[in-house]
A and B are shown apart, each in its own frame.
Chain A
């Protein structure tokens, strides 16, 4: 994975980036990913099961996300669930996407398209 250029995978789909953001601070299972995205976006983004697992499948296939065998909280854990986490390459891709979006926001600010600019 070290030889791959993160820029080649950009831009990420909005759902994929939301999932990667949710996994940026630790591994989560599907429902926890959805709840994190929903909480962070104040309910504006609600991922359905098909969108979530379709995106996860592509992220896993692309080596951006991997399944984890560890269970972060044994007390709250449901052993049937699968947990996912970002790979090192996935983290680099997420950072590159964040940089790209930051660049867009900066351009929008420069053109007075953002309030408070």
Chain B
């Protein structure tokens, strides 16, 4: 009886550990129910007279197949909805794709055609690429570890990005870089405002229209 009880506990503990393969939100919502269900099925398998080992083996086989089928689909759904860790991963993947696109397509295209573009437009495009890369990087640094969120994150990102760009421009000018003029400065400011507006729109769009009810 004691051995039976120990094995019972082991099976259920093992299944509880396997629930780790499901997304956190799903586990929180249904993990306890799933464990109860597994315990019911295990008791049922234990009760099969004369074929108990076979019934237990079948239960574990079905459980593992079910896990292999359902856990990836729950992760995929969680990924599509953007929950928890998946939200972070999705943000990182999107940011990497944006960087890859900018560095491999937009920047080379710009440098190949920069001679044909009128002066201020060229400065503006240059500023949009430059401020966009820095703005996105600072925003990720602030939001991925959840230091800041929402509109506040966008405002702080604007301040930090403006400071970083000012420092970089100063360093470049002092080290004999391109001559700084009003057109370049205006382009940088417009670039910053553009990304600020885009991020602000993005954040406000995702904000729920009704505040959650007090718990």
Instruction: Show the binding face of A for B, using Cβ within 8 Å.
Output: 30-31, 34, 46-54, 56-57, 78, 80-82
| Minimum CB distance partner of B34 in chain A | A49
Known: A46-B62, A53-B26. 8 other contacts (CB 8 A): A31-B41, A48-B63, A48-B67, A49-B33, A51-B66, A53-B34, A57-B30, A80-B36
| Minimum CB distance partner of A47 in chain B | B66
* Chain B 55-102 residues near chain A, CB threshold 8 A: 62-63, 65-67, 69-71, 73-74
Asked if B40 lies at the interface with its beta carbon under 8 angstroms from chain A, I say yes
With A30-B37, A57-B26 already in contact, the answer to whether A50 and B67 are too (CB < 8 A) is: yes
| CA–CA, A46 and B67, complex, Å | 14
Asked if B32 lies at the interface with its beta carbon under 8 angstroms from chain A, I say yes
A52 cross-chain contacts in B, Cβ below 8 A: 37
B interface, over-half SS = helix
Whether B36 and A50, one on each chain, are in contact in the complex, defined by CB atoms closer than 8 angstroms, is no
Whether A53 and B33, one on each chain, are in contact in the complex, defined by CB atoms closer than 8 angstroms, is yes
Whether B37 and A34, one on each chain, are in contact in the complex, defined by CB atoms closer than 8 angstroms, is yes
| Minimum CB distance partner of A30 in chain B | B37
Asked if B195 lies at the interface with its beta carbon under 8 angstroms from chain A, I say no
Whether A50 and B40, one on each chain, are in contact in the complex, defined by CB atoms closer than 8 angstroms, is no
Q: Which of B30, B63, B71 has the most CB of A within 10 A?
A: B30
Instruction: Show the binding face of B for A, using Cβ within 8 Å.
Output: 22, 26, 29-30, 32-34, 36-38, 40-41, 62-63, 65-67, 69-71, 73-74
Whether B33 and A54, one on each chain, are in contact in the complex, defined by CB atoms closer than 8 angstroms, is no
Whether B66 and A48, one on each chain, are in contact in the complex, defined by CB atoms closer than 8 angstroms, is yes
CB distance from A17 to the nearest CB of B (A): 17
CB distance from A23 to the nearest CB of B (A): 15
A interface, over-half SS = helix
CB distance from B42 to the nearest CB of A (A): 11
| Minimum CB distance partner of B67 in chain A | A50
With A48-B62, A51-B69 already in contact, the answer to whether A31 and B40 are too (CB < 8 A) is: yes
List the 10 closest pairs (A to B, CB-CB), nearest first.
A48-B66, A50-B70, A49-B34, A53-B30, A31-B40, A49-B37, A50-B66, A30-B37, A54-B70, A51-B70
CB distance from B73 to the nearest CB of A (A): 7
Q: Which of A46, A47, A48, A53 has the most CB of B within 10 A?
A: A48
Whether B38 and A50, one on each chain, are in contact in the complex, defined by CB atoms closer than 8 angstroms, is no
List 24 A-B pairs, Cβ < 8 Å.
Answer: A30-B36, A30-B37, A31-B37, A34-B37, A46-B62, A48-B62, A48-B65, A48-B66, A48-B70, A49-B37, A49-B38, A49-B63, A50-B69, A50-B74, A51-B66, A51-B69, A52-B37, A53-B26, A53-B33, A54-B70, A54-B73, A80-B32, A80-B36, A81-B33
A49 cross-chain contacts in B, Cβ below 8 A: 33-34, 37-38, 63, 66
Whether B29 and A81, one on each chain, are in contact in the complex, defined by CB atoms closer than 8 angstroms, is no
A47 cross-chain contacts in B, Cβ below 8 A: 66
| CA–CA, A50 and B23, complex, Å | 11
